[in-house]
A and B are shown apart, each in its own frame.
Chain A
Amino acid sequence: MSIEQLELNPRIIKAVNNANIGVARDILKFSGPDLQRLTRLSASDVHHLQTAVAALFCKKTPVSALQLYRGECPEWDCGLRVSLGCPVLDGVLRGGLLPWGLTELAGPSGAGKSQLAMQLCLSVQYPVQYGGLGSGALYICTEDSFPIRRLKQLQNEQPSLRSDVPPDVVSSICFSDNIYVEHAADLVGYSGAEGRCRNKLVPVLLAQGRVRLLVVDSVAALFRSEFQADQGLERSRHLTAFATALHKLSASYQLPILCVNQVTDVMEGDSNHDAGLRPVDSKVVPALGMAWANQVMVRLMVTRLPGAVSMGTQSSARRRLEVVFAPHLARDSCLFGVWREGTRGLPSPPTQDTSS
């Protein structure tokens, strides 16, 4: 974006070039009097200059909330949600995952995070009227091996999980073709300084719309091993850079990103600092601290509870999914179990259960 592209009096452009300010966006970083001093232009000229440069970067006209609500701005809020594949779970999220931004799913090991993530990778492939986005998913796996057998099992059981979808629609989707699995031992190196994935295929997939969900499983694993405790500042910087890269991806391609995170214990005496970052009576808090929490838009936590539940002939450990914070959700929760066909919520009233 150079200065010459602006629709301004050539005299102003010449003055700006003489002042050696650089590219157009640098003009925004100076105040009015500073620009007057640098370019020796009058105040009204400087005002015209600043307005022209600002217009370059703000091409969109303001919309009203009514237009957004009516769906007239699909690139901002299309009104859709990505279903989790179960009406009880969807009820907690008022429809499902938001189709933009970072959603975090945190919990101890064995709580069912990867199960939910895989289920999402399947449900995003359904057409829009069945709660999907009609596109595939990219699964970035940082654990040792991706649970491919479980994914195959979930695929085969989709007809029994998704009884709301006509069988011919289910069988017409070739699920495994649309899930791309990437192994990344080093998330920091994977996203790189410019926020581009090392694998050149990924931007192509996104640009072609073949992927409309990104899962990172898990975020915490990589940052833990890389940095020691005293390198907190360094870690914070890399975390912010990684989150920025994710946000850029999400904004450019209207891509929902699900980040799976681990949890750490709550220290005594810390109770007020991270009180908002976890459920009230929880003894664990999602890892990576305040720096990561500030980047996340929706935080969900899953926990494993004592006891078991049964559905038909199957039995599963009792688990709970709850909303810690979200801009559009109440702090709701529900119980669920992990079954052969996938993750299904239990339709019992959430207020009954206050034990953890």
Chain B
Amino acid sequence: MKPVSASPLSPSVKVKLLNAGFLTSEELLQLKPLQLSKEGGLSLEEALEVQQILREGVDLPGEGGAGLGSTALELLQQEERSIVTFCSSLDAALGGGVPVGKTTELCGTPGMGKTQLCLQLCIDVQIPECFGGLGGEAVFVDTEGSLVAQRVADMAQAAVQHCCLQDQDAEQRDALKDFTTESLLGHLYLMRCHDYVELLAQVQLLPDFLVKNPKVRLLVIDSLAFPFRRHFEDLSVRTRLLSGLAQQLIRMASQHRVAVVWTNQMTSQLRGGQWELVPALGESWGHSATQRLLLHWSGGRRLASVFKSPSQSESSVAYSVTREGFRDAGPLASSPSGREQDSSSQSESRQVSSSQSGSKRPRTQEGQ
């Protein structure tokens, strides 16, 4: 018994029907079209259309009331698992990994490893459930051209080897038969957008894609800032577009049960006479993501800081990017696989203390 005000009719028709005293869609369907047009003040065609729409029961995006009337207990029971990042300290800081059904933002200066983390997540989401993964698929929207097929293949191969090296029972051995580099690459869907109009169009078409591919559990947009940091004559247009985009992404995350991850750039801002690094796209954009991660340098090491999260405390952990992909920070320079030469080879104790003491807390307010 849907009320008229919640039905998918055009606003002017709704107003006429409500003024005529109709309250529920059932009442509208009980009448004959001619009666409906007389009583509702509609033309005959409009009345016919109204009845056809109500009978079809078109379920549109945004109108699907999945969350209508559920309790917090039901939501807790439904709560999804997370996607691991292969960096155990980061997984711990995030409470298990990148959460499905929520939006996560990765900020950082160029070269910090945002794309690497995104690619790692695209691979990790496909890990079979018996290994602790989600056994899902991933969609990667590339706006910068930073996706290099060779790199993805390297990371996929490393992930397969990692799983093969673990202790296996019969179920895991079975799952490993389908877990190959080819299958990992085959279930990662790629889309390329060259400007913000294409990106908006792509996001418009994504819900239909997610319905056709229900196994997708991760959507990555890398990077979301790049196409929007062009010159806009009117910045309020950009803010409006971004907030519309954020709403679509949040809706997709919860309705289709996917983790939505996007990357943001950093920009310099003058605050109190000092230049500071803040995430780009403005102050209001800061509210769009459920969770925000900042990747930055500190003392010659790469740190990932959780700086906005509804459920995790703010913390910083060290990580590294190796040939295999996104990993924990570890001893460097001697391992043949990691060609990282930037981390200092200082003692372990220094590493622990520097990750807990002051990580630079990014300023997200603009000095207006």
Contacts and interface: CB of A to CB of B under 8 A. Distances in A.
A331 B341 contact: yes
A344 interface: no
A62 to B, nearest CB: 5
B266 interface: yes
Contacts of A299: 110-111
Interface stretch (B34-42, B128-136, B201-209): B201-209
Contacts of A31: 244, 247
Interface stretch (B3-11, B22-30, B304-312): B3-11
Given A42-B13, A64-B188, A66-B186, A51 B205 contact: yes
Given A28-B204, A276-B112, A331-B342, A40 B146 contact: no
B202 A42 contact: no
Contacts of A79: 149-150
Contacts of A66: 182, 185-186, 188
Contacts of B268: 273, 289-290
A259 to B, nearest CB: 14
A325 B144 CA distance: 14
B340 to A, nearest CB: 6
A135 interface: no
Interface in A310-340: 324-328, 330-333
Interface in B59-118: 60-63, 108-112, 115-116
Interface stretch (B159-167, B169-177, B285-293, B295-303): B295-303
A328 B204 contact: no
A3 to B, nearest CB: 15
Question: Which of B11, B197, B230 has its CB near the most chain A CB atoms (within 10 A)?
Answer: B197
B11 A58 contact: no
A290 B63 CA distance: 42
Interface string A156-198: 0000000000000000000000000000000000000000000
Given A240-B231, A330-B323, A332-B339, A44 B148 contact: no
A277 B9 contact: no
Contacts of A57: 197-198, 201
A277 B110 contact: yes
A71 B85 CA distance: 28
B139 interface: yes
A293 B280 CA distance: 14
Interface stretch (A82-90, A94-102, A205-213, A219-227): A94-102
Contacts of B151: 327-328
B305 to A, nearest CB: 13
A135 B108 CA distance: 37
A141 to B, nearest CB: 26
A69 B153 contact: yes
B333 A28 contact: no
Given A51-B204, A351-B341, A43 B63 contact: yes
A280 B333 CA distance: 15
B339 A297 contact: no
B112 A65 contact: no
B192 interface: yes
Contact of A68 (B149, B240, B266): B149
A44 B58 contact: yes
Interface in B205-246: 205, 208-209, 225-226, 229-231, 237, 240-241, 244
Nearest to B266: A290
A16 to B, nearest CB: 13
Contacts of A101: 144-146
Contacts of A19: none
Contacts of B360: 272
B18 interface: no
B357 interface: no
Contacts of B298: 272
A32 interface: yes
Given A42-B8, A276-B111, A325-B111, A51 B208 contact: yes
Given A60-B192, A273-B275, A331-B339, A69 B209 contact: no
A153 interface: no
Contact of B339 (A44, A248, A279, A330): A330
Interface in B311-368: 322-323, 333, 338-342, 360
B336 to A, nearest CB: 11
A320 B281 CA distance: 36
B145 A56 contact: no
B168 interface: no
A244 B230 contact: yes
Question: Which of B13, B140, B147 has its CB near the most chain A CB atoms (within 10 A)?
Answer: B147
Contacts of B338: 330
B201 A45 contact: no
Nearest to B111: A325
A31 B267 CA distance: 28
A327 B297 contact: no
A277 B147 CA distance: 20
Rank and list the top 3 A-B pairs by shortest CB-CB distance, nearest first: A325-B111, A330-B339, A275-B297
15 contacts: A29-B237, A32-B62, A40-B12, A42-B49, A51-B204, A56-B201, A65-B186, A69-B153, A77-B147, A100-B145, A275-B296, A279-B342, A294-B225, A328-B148, A333-B341
Given A60-B191, A248-B194, A289-B268, 16 more contacts: A29-B200, A40-B10, A43-B10, A54-B200, A64-B188, A66-B182, A68-B149, A237-B231, A240-B231, A244-B231, A251-B145, A276-B296, A325-B110, A328-B148, A332-B339, A351-B333
Interface of A: 25, 28-32, 36-37, 40-45, 47, 50-51, 53-58, 60, 62-66, 68-69, 76-77, 79, 94, 98, 100-101, 237, 240-241, 244, 247-248, 250-251, 270, 272-277, 279-280, 289-291, 293-294, 296-297, 299, 324-328, 330-333, 350-351, 354
